[in-house]
Structure 1
Amino acid sequence: MKRTFSRQELYDLVWSTPIATLAKQFDISDRGLAKTCLRYHIPVPSRGYWAKIEAGQQPTKTPLWKLENPALEPVHIGGHKPAVNPYVAFATQKAAEAVEQSKVERKVERKQADTAKESSSKTPVVLEPVRRPHASISGLVTALRSAKADDHGEVSVPGIRIHKSSVTRVISVLHHLVIALESRNVVVDCSDKGIEAAVPPDDVRFEISESRSREQHKPTPAEQKKHDDHERRREAAQRRGQWLYPEKFWQEYDYIYSGKLTFEILNWADGARKRWGDGKHQSLESMLDAITDGVVFHLAYDKARREEREEQERRRQHMAHRRELHKKRQEREAKRLAFLRQLADYQKEAADLRATIAESGSSLQHAGPEYLKMIAWAEQRLAHLEAQNRIDVLTSHLVNENLFPDIDDLADPEGDPPPPKYSWGD
């Protein structure tokens, strides 16, 4: 059974066959098929629709909405993998190669330093507090330590949002991450925009956050007493015909911080992991190598995409230059033809004038003044034409117009460029 449909085709299918039955034909779950319909804005029958059909009723169908988004046509059911952009695939391959090279270099460094082998244990790694953080994050550390916590205990600076109790741990993670990145020739910079890791001119932004949950606040006895006292005062004021505004003595929700940190890269790269976090068996500290590889992957990906864009722009400019040369050669060719035509016209006109003047010689004794003036004008015109046809005059004109230069600046060693491709609507 085919797996690619138009929205109308899939709509007709789900309203003619129960989703559970249809899903089996596609070898996917009925929930998966329902999610696909939801993704493509295709309404599906309610649970009671087929019961009404079996009872002989004619329940109302929800109509298919018309959409203008071409991305929602066609619909792909399960297992379908759309074509990969070759430029994206190229960048992904280059990034993967860079990460693999980084891993090889790291293993060599560890071997040379006679360090212990990578532990296969799932015991979380604990880093000691850092007294003197790396210089590249010293400003961020100062801002983090001096940041004022909000009512929930959260401290926030560009690139970091955590509970105040996690400040020391985050500083330690950042310090060791910067050192690991520095060994891969990646520099870290902190600014008002956030935290960036860069191999100039390419950079990626990342942030560290702490997960939290929201719970309904349960007032303390002191808060409850303040509330009750205020309500009694309000009731007494109402009896006196006065109005006392209500007040809140506690916040509606409490935010409970889990202590679990998440490192997230904010750049986009196809096929790349972007997020690492504390888990049941692993801590952020134990994943510093993986995080470093992730940053290297994103940087290499961006570099490959940038270099490809630059190469495309270079090719575009090169082709534009070739087409401009071609245009100028065509214009020069038109001038050459015009020059030759004018030269031929002058020579033909001069020959005609010579013949006319020669034939008029026997008639001049009997000619009137108008005829004599015409012959005189013809002789002047002939002199002008002969002057235009002199080699020195022709050569001067050719040089001034640069029609046949010794060194041709308009020559294209690649020949004439192909015609430009136009898309519909151009």
Structure 2
Amino acid sequence: MSNKSLTRKQLYDLVWSKPVTHIAKEYGFSDNGIRKICKKYNIPLPKNGYWSKIKFNKKVTKTKLPKQDDNPQITLEKSISVVSGGNHINSQMALRKKELKEIEDLTFTVPDRISKPHKYVTATKEYHKQLKIIRKRGGWSSDVDSSDALNINVSESLVPRALRIFDTLLKVFDKRGYKISSNKKTEVTINGQSYSIRITEKSKRVKREDNRSWDSYVFVPTGRLCLKIDDYSPIKEWADSKTKQLEERVLDILSWLEIRAKKDEEQAIQSALWRKKFEEEREREKQLQALKDNELNRFQQLFDTASRWHKSQYLRNYINEFEKYALDSKTLDSDKQEWVKWAKEKADWYDPFIEKEVDLLKDIDRDTLKPKKRNYW
């Protein structure tokens, strides 16, 4: 069914003529999408059990269409969900495929023979040629330079098919301006997002027919080609089926990649913005913590200095009392006078306002009264 424009009354008659699930299938909507559009335009829907009652010829009540001044035209488009904003992947795929088909110089048909092969196809042919020679000599695949060879892992008879599919796909990538690389793995970069592409052959597990006491299995190639996007989880793949070969999926592959790249690009931008915001917040917290630490250090220095001053005054009071007592008791001899002089010097050394230099205490920290830490480098 093509695009169809309905009035409120026509859509009302439609949803009361058949179940919403049936209408949804006809127009490429989800049934929830139909319900949303009816809610938007104030169109009542049959209640649960309505169609069951109709089936068994039971009496039902039909809700009247509420009146409203405007009479909007409601457009329904198959495969593009107007209700949900066209965000469903199938809707996006249909739209993107339609847009790509309208580009004149894009060819999605895989030819029976390759004309002017892509450079990576040429490199892959040479790689497989050298691989045959090496294997005949009993060598290993690692003995052959695989630079620029496409990521293909199929039976020898399927290599030409895989190359024709890859050649068509690579040429489409080139025309779309996408970067392609092939060094151990084949990658295409779209909107800054890179995806690994490989063509493999489907295999099936077959039980061995032998006399062992336990079951063992081998994987047997099926001849069915499969293209995989390894960077997507779960792995995205297109394969030969009973009704469609991989050669017919080039447009599907390109459409999916472009849609996925756009989504991944948007997510990458959002992630970058989040990381930037996170780093800025972390830097602010770091700077704030540095200010707090500095403030605490300054206070600790203030407290330590005040404590030293208080202790230096305590020392001076003691020294003065000692000297006064010795004078009063007439016991202030030369030894005590020397001690008083020494003690006052130490009080001046300890006092944060004076900090008199004393040669024997140069290596002593005044705050801790312990040797200063030395740097040996």
After TM superposition, the score normalised by the length of structure 2 is: 0.47
After TM superposition, the score normalised by the length of structure 1 is: 0.42
